[in-house]
Structure 1
């Protein structure tokens, strides 16, 4: 599967709104107004805050994203979350591959090597 090359990580930072996705076991089934907020850390990693609302109640999780291979120009990242969020003791790591991004950095498709997960997002 092809991924974006030479992703401008600084341009990617900010709030992205989910507009479509494949259902996944780790996201609430009835989540609405789902968004992801990315902030660049001083060490080059990315702070990730995922937020969704279930029955009007806010649900969120924080994590860290980093390049899977620091020497590669491909936008293949790993993202690590700690669960449960209120007692971060168990690290869970997943793939975060930027499969497509438009030249204005307004729309993105994110997935991974298994093709089980796919998110379409718009920049907010």
Structure 2
């Protein structure tokens, strides 16, 4: 029997969590380009304690990206429950859309992580490198399964080596990001 309350990491060091994370696998969104590759997120801590979020993916040689802000849902809690806010559309910041970003597992080296949402509609496996050891991957999948996620929906993300440079890429507006993040 799957439990309702998802177990979340406690005492996360946000400063250590910053930097680039590669998406190893996720629940694909129907709005995400089917051929999206090299998907990654870069987190940067701001002076006020919030986090700048940059999500990128490449599709047909174009870089799709969206930026947002992450912050702790409850500043008094030591649980790694974050809210992520993006503006729709990204190039016209009018309507903020907020989603949950819960860190369900993080190894002590801050090398790989399992991110989910309490609704269980979204799940991500992230790693500091764009490849993750198969055994560790399977352990993260088992952990997600134990938390009640339908892991049959997980799809591995394709990466090229070396990863693309952001500066080289022609931009595309990347509206699909929003829909994928909020499971719309």
Give TM-score scaled by structure 2 length: 0.65
Deviations 1:82-114 (A, max 9, x none): 011111211110000000001110000101101
Counterpart position of 2:10? 5
CA RMSD of aligned residues (A): 1.1
Partner SS, residue 85 of structure 1:
coil
1:1-124 correspondence to structure 2 within 5 Å: 1-25=6-30, 27-124=32-129
- How many residues were matched structurally? 124
Q: Tell me which protein shows more strand as a share of its residues.
A: 1
Provide the C-alpha distance between the structure 2 equivalents of 1:119 and 1:97, rounded to a whole number of angstroms.
10
Structure 1: tracts of 5 or more residues without a match: none
**Structure of higher CA gyration radius:** 2
Unpaired runs of at least 5, structure 2? 1-5, 130-184
CA shift, 1:26, in A, is 5.5
In the TM superposition, residue 54 of structure 1 has moved relative to its aligned partner by 1.1
Following TM superposition, the consecutive aligned residue runs of length 4 or more in structure 1 with deviations greater than 2 angstroms are 24-30
Higher relative CO (CA 8 A, sep ≥ 6), structure 1 or 2? 2
Higher share of residues assigned helix: 2
TM-score relative to the length of structure 1: 0.96
